[in-house]
Amino acid sequence: MLNQCVKTGLTLTLICAAFTANAADKLPNVMILATGGTIAGTGATSTTTVGYTAAKIGVERLIEAVPELQKVAQVKGEQVFQIASENMSNEHWLKLAKRVNEVLKKSDVDGVVITHGTDTIEETAYFLNLVVKSKKPVVIVGAMRPATAISADGPINLYNAVALAGSKEAVGQGVLVSLNDEIQGARDVTKTNTMTGNTFRAPELGSLGYMVSGQAKFYRSSTRKHTSETEFDISKLETLPAVDIAYGSANANTLAIDAFAAAGDVGIVYAGTGDGSLSTPVRTRLTELRQKGIHINRSSRVGNGPTVRGGENDDDKTDFTVSDTLTPQKARILLMLALTKTKDSKEIQRMFYTY
Ligand code: DAS
């Protein structure tokens, strides 16, 4: 009798093990590329939610801290950088994008998650949205509280990001940003609050959907080209064209744009007031710089609504382009990539209406 029980027990164990192994085989394979930020941050106390140190915890510890990840994907981790994202540079982006494209080419990778600081997450997301050559999901995730804080949001954000990156629903949706149970598109997402958990919004154009108990629920898709439809190729680039942003205000002068020109910039994005308005001295100087060959993109500091061609400036006459609804920080990204392809203003403007 005892023998029979032992045999039955063993058989059941083997069946369960086979089931578990079989179920694990059915889970998507998700690669986590870690770059730093608050999600990997540590604070002096469990109530320290600002004034902590970002980029301290390695990717393996981030994964260990969320054992539930194993229920939604087969996860591997790689530490690409360990930086606070205010230090993200064009060179970091090129290295990260090349690694993402390399990983996504692997047949045993179904999606990628990038852990990232929240300060420039929207910029990295948009850059990757324009240079990743795959329909496979790429989800960028951060946290507004350090890993050491009470109710740290990193673990649930990481769980949602891995579930989203392994989901069929996210395929072909472009690069996504997911925090706070929301799914945001790379083109329109921006950080709207310096401190709170719901900071990532697409203020008027809206999020794409929600993460509901680890399930991706999409209600919208981006209308602009991205990822597998992009015309940009960074695979052979070691640097990006020098493009900087000048910020408009009352009493605006030309000191910043003069400095950019003197430094050899090939493009300047001007974050104008209102609909990309330029003070007279700024307009005069930007027109002169355009005539010297520097590409000028008129954007707006407002944060919502399109900067419209011919609205506050005769862009045909000055040969400027406009950023449409892109924020200045995203217009810089598109202008840099555009200048790797063309110096023709009409072609550049087409790109701003395409991506
Ligand atoms: N300094 C911020 C950054 O790394 C911390 C964060 O919010 O992630 O972007």
**Judgement on whether residues 107 and 216 belong to the same structural domain of the protein:** yes
Q: Element (H or E) spanning 11, and its range?
A: helix 2-26
Of 229, 260, 293, at which residue does a domain stop?
A: 229
Number of neighbouring beta carbons within 10 Å of residue 13: 10
Distances (CA, A) of 160 to 117, 155, 167, 230: 17, 9, 10, 27
Does the CB atom of residue 146 touch ligand 1 within 6 A? no
Choosing from 35, 115, 118, 230, the catalytic residue is: 118
- Residue 115 pairs in a beta bridge with 34, 141
**Judgement on whether residues 329 and 209 belong to the same structural domain of the protein:** no
**Judgement on whether residues 223 and 250 belong to the same structural domain of the protein:** no
Residue 132, domain extent? 17-229
Supply the pTM of this predicted model. 0.92
For residue 83, which atom of ligand 1 is closest to its CA? 4
For ligand 1, atom 5: residue with the closest CA = 38
C-alpha to C-alpha distance for 87 and 91, rounded to whole angstroms: 11
Does the CB atom of residue 85 touch ligand 1 within 6 A? yes
Q: Write the single-letter amino acid at 320.
A: F
C-alpha to C-alpha distance for 300 and 281, rounded to whole angstroms: 17
Structure tokens that stand for 98 in this block? 């090349």
Choosing from 35, 38, 230, 307, the catalytic residue is: 38
Ligand 1 pocket mutation pick from 82, 86, 198 by most atoms within 8 angstroms of CB:
86
Find the 198 Cα to ligand 1 centroid distance in Å. 15
Rank 8-12, 36-40, 334-338 by mean pLDDT and report only the highest. 334-338
C-alpha to C-alpha distance for 345 and 355, rounded to whole angstroms: 16
Of 197, 229, 261, at which residue does a domain stop?
A: 229
Residue that has been written with the tokens 């047949």 in this structure:
107
Number of neighbouring beta carbons within 10 Å of residue 354: 14
**Judgement on whether residues 126 and 48 belong to the same structural domain of the protein:** yes
Q: For the domain that residue 139 is a member of, what is the CATH number? A: 3.40.50.1170
For residue 119, which atom of ligand 1 is closest to its CA? 9
118 in active site: yes
Question: What are the pLDDT digits (tens) for 177-229?
Answer: 999 999 999 999 999 999 999 999 999 999 999 999 999 999 999 999 999 99
pLDDT of the residue at 47: 75
Q: Place 264 in a pLDDT band, splitting at 50, 70 and 90.
A: very high
For residue 55, which atom of ligand 1 is closest to its CA? 4
Of 203, 229, 255, at which residue does a domain stop?
A: 229
pLDDT > 90? residue 37: no
Find the 58 Cα to ligand 1 centroid distance in Å. 15
Question: Is residue 4 included in any domain, yes or no?
Answer: no
For residue 116, which atom of ligand 1 is closest to its CA? 8
Tell me what the mean pLDDT of segment 37-51 comes to.
74
Tell me what the mean pLDDT of segment 78-105 comes to.
97
Find the 318 Cα to ligand 1 centroid distance in Å. 38
**Judgement on whether residues 74 and 177 belong to the same structural domain of the protein:** yes
What total of structural domains would you count in the chain?
Answer: 2
**Judgement on whether residues 173 and 36 belong to the same structural domain of the protein:** yes
C-alpha to C-alpha distance for 24 and 208, rounded to whole angstroms: 29
**Judgement on whether residues 148 and 195 belong to the same structural domain of the protein:** yes
Find the 85 Cα to ligand 1 centroid distance in Å. 5
**Judgement on whether residues 104 and 187 belong to the same structural domain of the protein:** yes
